[in-house]
Amino acid sequence: MHTEAYIRHFTTQKPGLKNRSGWKYFTLFIFAMLVVLAFLLGNYLGTVKIGIPDIIRVIFNDDGSPERSIIWDIRLPRLIVAALVGINLALSGAILQGVMSNPLADPTIIGVSAGAGLAGIIILILFPQHQLMVPMAAFVGAMGAAVLIYILAWKGGIQPLRIILAGVAVAAFLGAGISALMVLFSDRVHGAILFMNGSLSARSWPDVFTILPYSVLGAVIAVFMAERLNILVLGDDTARSLGLNVEATRMGLTAVAALLAASAVSVVGLLGFVGLIIPHATRLLLGTNHRVLFPGAMLLGAAVVMLSDTFARTAFSPTEIPVGIVMAILGVPFFLYLLRR
């Protein structure tokens, strides 16, 4: 039933501009420009505004100026974390929507958010003195939940629908745990709010290096697995006939999607919106071929998270709002526009 909805959704698309291949590369170029713009804007905006020539100068040489330390120690690493988080979540969502043949699939359905959320909350609320453990705990929680869902959905093979149902059940179960902790320890909830909504506040170089290996892995997968995912999307029977090892491909890609999302949420907390809507928006603009969809989603994800975080950081300065809230407020209307147009 999900598969049918997926097919219907894409068959009702009118052939038009977006079906021309020149248009696809132009759109990818626009996305890349958006990344550059977001990067420059993120470095420029803040309590101290730093002009573009200065940004470039201080990135490439350490002249000991205050601008250098604002850019190098604060804005630049935070922007890189934002970009990598955007890449990982968007790619994870793009992979899962293909693997599950379901337009509503996102990292949430393989339990990554709920697993990371519960593990993070346990540390933040029960052991606040071990706050530094949050990323590692969130990563373990995310992967633990993903593996649990995979095991629960396993029955002589994996059916996307069973994963989705098992995912909903496990997420509800873990969500209940999160709610219970927040009610029982309501006096300590404040420290968990940023984590629960996703925040890039005070992220720096160590976070860059925590998440970077996964982004690199994701990019490699995006290049080499795109054709396999295209074939998998044709349906299990057809994919098998064409010589694809359906089970191994589905399991491998699901594992990669879980790692990508887990690495992102372990660093910035629960950022729900990117993994669902960025790949979807990219598909509406670029079509379903994963060779184009993957790079498109990565670029758009990076640009949107960087822009949203810059907005979150500067709009109500000195108060920072969680970036997840910004993305929901700015992104959802745009997404609805794409859907309705």
Partner 1 sequence: MNTVLNVEHLKVRFNSREVIADFCLEIQRGRIYAIVGPNGSGKTTLLRAISRNVRASAGCIYLNGKSIFRMSSKNVARQMAVLSQLHNGMTDATVRELVAYGRFAHREWWQSKTAEDEEIISWSLARTNLSGYDDRRLNTLSGGERQRVWIAMAIAQKPQILLLDEPTTFLDIAHQIETLELIAGLNREEGITILMVLHDINHAAHYADELIVMKNGRLFSRGLPGAVITPDMMREVFGVEADIFPDPETGKPIVRPRKVAK
Maximum C-alpha span of the chain: 63
Tell me how far, at minimum, the Cβ of 28 lies from partner 1, in Å. 16
Do 222 and 279 meet the contact criterion of CB atoms below 8 Å apart?
Answer: no
In the complex, which residues of this chain contact partner 1 (CB under 8 A)? 3, 6-7, 10-11, 13, 15, 19, 101, 156, 224, 227, 230-231, 233-238, 240-246, 287-289
Following DSSP, what letter does each residue of 28-81 receive, concatenated?
HHHHHHHHHHHHHHHHH-SSS---HHHHHHHHH-----HHHHIIIIIIHHHHHH
Question: Which residue number, 154 or 173, has a Cβ lying nearer to partner 1?
Answer: 154
* Shortest Å distance, C-beta 214 to partner 1: 21
Of 142 and 246, which has the nearer Cβ to partner 1? 246
Other C-beta atoms closer than 10 Å to the C-beta of 225 total 19
**Measured from the CB of residue 238, what is the shortest distance to partner 1 in angstroms?**
6
Which CB sits closer to partner 1, 48 or 234? Answer: 234
Please identify, using beta-carbon distances, which residue of 187 and 237 lies nearer to partner 1: 237
Cα(252)–Cα(225) distance, integer angstroms = 10
**Residue whose CB is less far from partner 1, 123 or 293:** 293
State the nearest-atom distance from the C-beta of 167 to partner 1, in Å: 21
Residue closer to partner 1 by CB (options 145, 286) is 286
Nearer of residues 288 and 314 to partner 1, judged by Cβ: 288
In angstroms, what is the minimal distance from the CB of 105 to partner 1? 13
How far is Cα 212 from Cα 161, in angstroms, rounded to an integer?
32
Give the C-alpha separation, 133 to 124, whole Å. 9
62: left (phi over 0), alpha (psi -120 to 50) or beta: beta
| Residues present in the chain in total | 341
Q: Which is nearer to partner 1, 2 or 57 (CB)?
A: 2
CA angle 287–264–172, rounded 5-degree value: 90
Q: How far is the CB of 117 from partner 1 (least distance, A)?
A: 31
Q: Is 210 in contact with 268 (CB distance < 8 Å)?
A: no
The neighbouring-strand residues paired with 158 are 154
Q: How far is the CB of 121 from partner 1 (least distance, A)?
A: 38
Counting Cβ atoms within 10 Å, is residue 187 exposed (0-12), middle (13-18) or buried (19+)? exposed
Radius of gyration of the chain (CA): 20
Q: How far is the CB of 103 from partner 1 (least distance, A)?
A: 11
